[in-house]
Amino acid sequence: YFSWEVLRFLLSNLRMWIEDYRFDGFRFDGVTSMLYHHHGIGTGFSGDYNEYFGLHVDEDALCYLMLANHMIKFLYPECITIAEDVSGMPALCRPVAEGGGGFDYRLAMAIPDKWIQIIKELKDEDWNMGNIVHTLTNRRYKEKYIAYAESHDQALVGDKTLAFRLMDAEMYTNMSVLSPLTPVIDRGIQLHKMIRLITHALGGESYLNFMGNEFGHPEWLDFPRKGNNESYHYARRQFNLTEDHLLRYRFLNAFDRDMNNLEERFGWLASPPAYVSEKHESNKVIAFERADLIFIFNFHPYRSYVDYRVVIWHASLTVVFKYKILLDSDAAEYGGHQRLDHNTEYFSEEYPHNYRPNSLMV
């Protein structure tokens, strides 16, 4: 139960951080535990509306969150608020005036968990394209989500980053360009790029990265504590790794840079959700369109494809569209194998494919 004194204290806290410390946004941690009297403990959320409306909802907490968002938006319109909610409470990220919770974004927390689960539990040939697409697109319509490929928790002691899960100990011995490109490092570098791009392009309306993840930081993060004799050794990020031209970390960093620059140019995060035209289980291919771009991912562990036809959702029946490669994870500057000719031009055709009238051969 919130008394008005507690409410005033919490709301004035928000105002203090903005006015005294110039905060430009807040991530509300553990919102799920506030929204329900059961705190989300031992509760599975299927999406059924009965799970979100009833006596188990903590109306005092919900009222506080609505008041907090209303106050922040009223006094500081540029301030952003983000909810960490695993329950999928409807309208949590719609304006208070609509009866919503008032948050701008919510974290797409299922996405990093899904990538870890896939890498830990499945062989490459068992990856499920439909399940990946479902996880990346399973979000409430007209509510904005922040997609991220890996979380800060994964870099802490006892867990591993995506890069370390993919390449593990070989990151200490085989990341030099002077050493042969081993199957483990090759697979790890290529999947690291693809996982980040498909998360960025398909997973939400914003993208979050934690320091070091963009170049596949090889070590965990650990702060001084009794358990490590108050050591600062792992309380760091080795940004020097990206500056060493003899190390392959720079390939991952260059890809991250160009991926973000491409989004800046075309604005897919601010575009409507993608149209997914293909999630082919045996070919291990995912294809979709967003912001007038066609994204094609081949997750097959050993098969490449020539003359592969994909749907064009936005193509006109009267105008021929020309496409060129803008970002290629297989390019040499990203540690790839240069299997695609970037001078090739691809043209839309009035050729039915996957139940659509227009397609493209790539």
**Which of 19, 24, 58, 84 is the catalytic position?**
84
Q: What is the largest CA-CA distance in the chain?
A: 71
Two structure tokens written together for 344: 């090739």
DSSP, residue by residue, 108-132: -THHHHHHHHHHHH--GGG--HHHH
Q: Are 276 and 137 in contact (CB under 8 A)?
A: yes
Rounded to whole angstroms, the Cα distance separating 199 from 191 reads 12
Two structure tokens written together for 199: 């998360």
Regarding beta strands 80-83 and 105-107, do their DSSP bridges make them parallel or antiparallel, or are they unpaired?
parallel
Two structure tokens written together for 358: 């227009």
Q: Are 75 and 15 in contact (CB under 8 A)?
A: yes
Rounded to whole angstroms, the Cα distance separating 27 from 17 reads 13
Query: Which regions of the chain are under pLDDT 70?
Result: 1-2, 315-317
Q: Tokens 């989300």 belong to which residue?
A: 40
pTM across the whole model: 0.94
Q: Tokens 């293909």 belong to which residue?
A: 278
- pLDDT on residue 194: 98
Rounded to whole angstroms, the Cα distance separating 98 from 315 reads 36
- pLDDT on residue 76: 96
- pLDDT on residue 297: 98
C-alpha dist (Å) from residue 8 to 61, 68, 165, 242: 13, 10, 46, 47
Question: In this predicted model, what pLDDT tens digit does every residue of 95-115 receive, in sequence order?
Answer: 999 999 999 999 999 999 999
- pLDDT on residue 2: 63
Domain 275-361 has CATH 2.60.40.1180: yes
Beta carbons within 8 Å of 151's beta carbon, 6+ residues apart = 109, 112, 210
Query: Has 258 been annotated as catalytic?
Result: no
Domain map (residue ranges) of the chain: 4-107, 275-361
Angle (nearest 5°) at CA 232 between 224 and 236: 115
Nearest C-alpha neighbor of 234 from the set 290, 139, 122, 158: 158
Query: Has 84 been annotated as catalytic?
Result: yes
**Which of 5, 19, 24, 29 is the catalytic position?**
29
DSSP, residue by residue, 143-186: -EEEE-SS-GGGGBTTS--HHHHHHGGGGGTS-BTTS---HHHH
Read off φ and ψ for residue 298, nearest 5 degrees.
Answer: -110, 105
Q: Are 202 and 277 in contact (CB under 8 A)?
A: no
